[in-house]
Chains A and B, each alone.
Chain A
Amino acid sequence: METKKTSLYQLHQDCNAKFVEFAGYHMPIQYSEGIVEEHKFTRNHSGIFDVSHMGQLFVYGGGELIKDLEKIFPLDLKNLRLNHSKYSFLMDKDAGIQDDLIITKINEGFLIILNAACKDNDFKILKELLNEKYKMVLDENRSLIAIQGPKSSEILNELVDGVKDLNFMTGNWFSFEKQKIYITRSGYTGEDGFEISIPNDFVDKFTRELINKGSKLIGLGARDTLRLEAGLCLYGHDLDKDKTPVEANLKWAISKERISKGDFIGSDIIIKQLNNGVSKIRVGIKPEGRIIAREKTKIFNHLDVHIGEITSGTFGPSVNGPVAMGYVENEFSKKNTKILLEVRGKKYPASICGLPFYKKSYVKGVY
């Protein structure tokens, strides 16, 4: 299959992007300034991310759709207010995570943002689970960009008046050049920011105007270091179908009300794990010194017994040191537990730590 380009491809080229193939798309891994500078610019100022490769799934329907979606997602959707968003997962019957996603209640139904590598399969699964009862559109005519960082609200508000009044994890329709754009206050960097769904034909102009107002394009490389510092999971690495939301330490995202009913896909496993505990669990890992422990690095306890594996690891530019996440046997998951990481045949000391690695002091009143 031919590698696809997003509608911002020309702009990426104009900004000297280095491209990589990601989930079937030519995506910018970095621009001329490099990952560390892009990362810091996002934390201190404002960065724009092209995430148009992600799926924007519109599912149209009313009360019956809510009931049907509650059989799939562990969310209290009947109490989800208009234009409010929730983080959730698509699970299989064993509660294995097939994708992680953001679902937003819109007037006509729901908007679900899916991972690029999973979106076509998710669409197939959801269509089957919903028995083709509802109109579903995996919209290829819209682009998705994120603008993240402390100056983003001010910059975006200059183009789209009113966005600064959105609360975290809520959205609304706005207009740009008479086009309907849907903006949510959300993101995946640990910074205040927004995600903007906009027609393909207008995204280039819109993004160039954001750049003119002082924001900068940021590549997938910095997106990865930003999300890892923020303790956020990357599907295909920290999450996959061999891991459940409880094992992934994401039980906060499962509605308590829905657990008591237990009528969604995978609920029996989830309830069992919540009651009896899990054998492995996702934790933050802080290597001592500067050694970087990447994905698949083996984790050992103080007695040199193999207890788990790293699923994401890099150097965190804002932390100014290595950061990692991984899964360890539950008994070794307590904060400050000393562990060893095997890197290039040698074992290096590290400890289990809380997440996130980098915490923002948000402006009061925003949330």
Chain B
Amino acid sequence: MSEVKYSKEHEWIKLDGDVAIIGITKHATEMLGDIVFAELPEKGSNVEKDGTAGVVESTKAASDVYTPVSGEVVDTNQAIVDDPSKINQDPENSAWFFKLKMKDPSEMDTLMNKDDYDKFAKETSV
């Protein structure tokens, strides 16, 4: 497993070979509150870097989930669709959202490492 990287839209991404696993950060779940709905991209669909690739909803509001890199969706996590509260419980591990076959691995270089993301999250939170 490679180093985990982070986007400004509060997604995390880690590589398993040429497959990227993507989810939303703990910080994102704390800002959203209790997540009660999750929608994931369709398996086999292609998603573009920074494009929407899902939705999460709390009791208060809906928020888009973006993909930090481009690629083909090869797997989605049905468990978080069936029980969205899993996202609050274990956001950066078992509650991953989708897996991508990456189109351009160099897109990983545009993302933040953990230290930079933690700093970013702290600065941008209200």
B33 close to A (CB within 8 Å): yes
Is A315's CB under 8 angstroms from B33's CB? no
Please report the C-alpha to C-alpha distance between residue A315 and residue B60 in the assembled complex, in whole angstroms: 9
Segment of A27-35, A66-74, A79-87 engaged in the interface with chain B: A27-35
Choose one: A221, A290, A291, A322; the contact of B60 (CB below 8 Å). Answer: A221
Q: In the assembled complex, which residues on chain A have CB atoms less than 8 Å from the CB atom of B34?
A: 34-37
Choose one: A35, A290, A291, A344; the contact of B59 (CB below 8 Å). Answer: A35
Please report the C-alpha to C-alpha distance between residue A240 and residue B58 in the assembled complex, in whole angstroms: 26
Q: Contacts A35-B34, A315-B36: A221 and B55 contacting too (C-beta < 8 A)?
A: no
Closest partner residue, chain A, to B85 (CB atom): A36
| Chain B 23-40 interface 0/1 with A at a Cβ cutoff of 8 Å (1 = within) | 000000000011011000
Please report the C-alpha to C-alpha distance between residue A221 and residue B33 in the assembled complex, in whole angstroms: 10
Q: In the assembled complex, which residues on chain B have CB atoms less than 8 Å from the CB atom of A290?
A: 36-37, 81, 84
Choose one: B62, B81, B85; the contact of A292 (CB below 8 Å). Answer: B62
Q: In the assembled complex, which residues on chain A have CB atoms less than 8 Å from the CB atom of B59?
A: 35-36, 39, 221, 224-225, 314-315, 317
Please report the C-alpha to C-alpha distance between residue A29 and residue B34 in the assembled complex, in whole angstroms: 13
Is A35's CB under 8 angstroms from B37's CB? no
A227 close to B (CB within 8 Å): no
Give 10 closest A-B pairs by Cβ, nearest first.
Answer: A315-B36, A36-B34, A35-B59, A34-B34, A292-B57, A290-B37, A292-B37, A315-B59, A314-B59, A34-B33
Closest partner residue, chain B, to A29 (CB atom): B60
Q: In the assembled complex, which residues on chain B have CB atoms less than 8 Å from the CB atom of A29?
A: 60
Q: In the assembled complex, which residues on chain A have CB atoms less than 8 Å from the CB atom of B85?
A: 36
Please report the C-alpha to C-alpha distance between residue A31 and residue B123 in the assembled complex, in whole angstroms: 22
A contact residues vs B (CB 8 Å cutoff): 29-30, 34-37, 39, 221, 224-225, 290-292, 294, 314-315, 317, 322, 344
Q: In the assembled complex, which residues on chain B have CB atoms less than 8 Å from the CB atom of A344?
A: 55, 62
Closest partner residue, chain A, to B30 (CB atom): A34
| Chain B 61-93 interface 0/1 with A at a Cβ cutoff of 8 Å (1 = within) | 110000000000000000001001100000000
Please report the C-alpha to C-alpha distance between residue A54 and residue B61 in the assembled complex, in whole angstroms: 24
Q: Contacts A292-B57, A344-B55: A315 and B37 contacting too (C-beta < 8 A)?
A: yes
Please report the C-alpha to C-alpha distance between residue A225 and residue B33 in the assembled complex, in whole angstroms: 14
In the complex, besides A35-B59, A221-B60, A291-B37, 10 extra interface pairs with C-beta distance below 8 angstroms are A34-B34, A36-B85, A37-B34, A39-B59, A221-B33, A290-B37, A292-B36, A315-B36, A315-B57, A344-B62
Closest partner residue, chain A, to B55 (CB atom): A344
Q: In the assembled complex, which residues on chain B have CB atoms less than 8 Å from the CB atom of A315?
A: 36-37, 57, 59
Please report the C-alpha to C-alpha distance between residue A315 and residue B59 in the assembled complex, in whole angstroms: 6
Please report the C-alpha to C-alpha distance between residue A36 and residue B29 in the assembled complex, in whole angstroms: 14
Please report the C-alpha to C-alpha distance between residue A291 and residue B75 in the assembled complex, in whole angstroms: 21
Is B55's CB under 8 angstroms from A36's CB? no
Q: In the assembled complex, which residues on chain B have CB atoms less than 8 Å from the CB atom of A35?
A: 33-34, 58-60
Among B34, B55, B81: residue with most chain A CB under 10 A: B34
**Residues of B36-55 whose CB lies within 8 A of A:** 36-37, 55
Please report the C-alpha to C-alpha distance between residue A35 and residue B88 in the assembled complex, in whole angstroms: 13
User: How distant is B11 from chain A, measured CB to nearest CB, in Å?
Assistant: 19
User: How distant is A19 from chain B, measured CB to nearest CB, in Å?
Assistant: 10
Closest partner residue, chain A, to B82 (CB atom): A290
User: How distant is A234 from chain B, measured CB to nearest CB, in Å?
Assistant: 14
Please report the C-alpha to C-alpha distance between residue A108 and residue B57 in the assembled complex, in whole angstroms: 49
User: How distant is B56 from chain A, measured CB to nearest CB, in Å?
Assistant: 11
User: How distant is B95 from chain A, measured CB to nearest CB, in Å?
Assistant: 16
Closest partner residue, chain B, to A290 (CB atom): B37
Closest partner residue, chain A, to B34 (CB atom): A36
User: How distant is B104 from chain A, measured CB to nearest CB, in Å?
Assistant: 27
Choose one: A30, A36, A37, A224; the contact of B36 (CB below 8 Å). Answer: A36
Please report the C-alpha to C-alpha distance between residue A35 and residue B81 in the assembled complex, in whole angstroms: 20
Please report the C-alpha to C-alpha distance between residue A108 and residue B44 in the assembled complex, in whole angstroms: 72
Q: In the assembled complex, which residues on chain B have CB atoms less than 8 Å from the CB atom of A291?
A: 37
User: How distant is B61 from chain A, measured CB to nearest CB, in Å?
Assistant: 8
A-B contact pairs, 14 of them (CB 8 A): A34-B33, A35-B33, A35-B34, A35-B59, A36-B34, A36-B59, A221-B33, A221-B59, A224-B59, A290-B37, A291-B37, A315-B36, A315-B37, A344-B55
Is B33's CB under 8 angstroms from A294's CB? no
Among B58, B60, B62: residue with most chain A CB under 10 A: B60
Closest partner residue, chain B, to A225 (CB atom): B59
Closest partner residue, chain A, to B126 (CB atom): A18
